Amino acid sequence: VPSYYSQRLAALTPGFSGADIANVCNEAALFAARTEEAQVTMDHFEAAIDRIIGGLEKKNKVISKLQRRTVAYHEAGHAVAGWFLEHTEPLLKVTIVPRGTAALGFAQYIPNENLLMTKEQLFDMTCMTLGGRAAEKVLIGAISTGAQDDLEKVTKMTYDQVAVYGFSEKVGLLSFPQREDSFETSKPYSSETGAIIDNEVREWVNKAYERTIQLI
């Protein structure tokens, strides 16, 4: 049992600091105390990790059956896409329980420790990120605003591939990194190059979305 505990808890807490782990232990002990149990079990530890990652569970939050169904399909879409794609981060847990920082649920993955990423790896990760929107489209026949954060991630990931990493043959071996601390309004390339970048990003995202639709 101790060996299982250590392996399971290590998998559930990637990137946690010593203080974070101490917080998990304290929260787990509180969960056990609330139910008047003599021992802290894995269920208590997992509940504590969920609370620290996602915030307090909103038990009084009322969600309609349609919304809950939509969220379930959305999160399942990420999970299924990630399961069948070779180069994605392993899924640890998916939930549709509303929490403080996850209003409609969340999925937890083991972070990728690769320092270098290939075009194929990033394409798979793009498809997994689009899995929620694709699942809504295929299984419900309608899309929701739930994919906003996913689309932001996909947009940035794809722009980086095209305009920063030199993965696009049409743009070439050029790199135009976005500097967050820069106040410059002008871009270091022409409007023609900007149009090529935009078209490439749109084409790559559409290709990933179509692949994910077929996968779902």
Are 15 and 71 found together in one domain?
no
Q: What is the pTM of this model?
A: 0.78
Are 34 and 90 found together in one domain?
no
Q: Is 75 a catalytic residue?
A: yes
Q: Is residue 61 part of a domain?
A: no
Q: Is residue 183 part of a domain?
A: yes
Catalytic residue among 75, 89, 136, 200: 75
pLDDT over threshold 60, residue 108: yes
Q: 74-110 burial string, b = 16+ CB within 10 Å, else e?
A: bbbbbbbbbeebebbbebeebbbebbeebebbbbbbe
**DSSP H helices in the chain:** 2-12, 18-34, 42-54, 65-84, 119-129, 131-135, 148-163, 191-215
35 confidence band (pLDDT: 50, 70, 90): confident
The stretch 152-175 carries a mean pLDDT of 96
Where residue 155 sits, what CATH number does that domain have? 1.20.58.760
* pLDDT at res. 57: 65
In this structure, the dihedral spanned by the alpha carbons of residues 73, 79, 85 and 91, taken in order and rounded to 10 degrees, is 170
Are 103 and 24 found together in one domain?
no
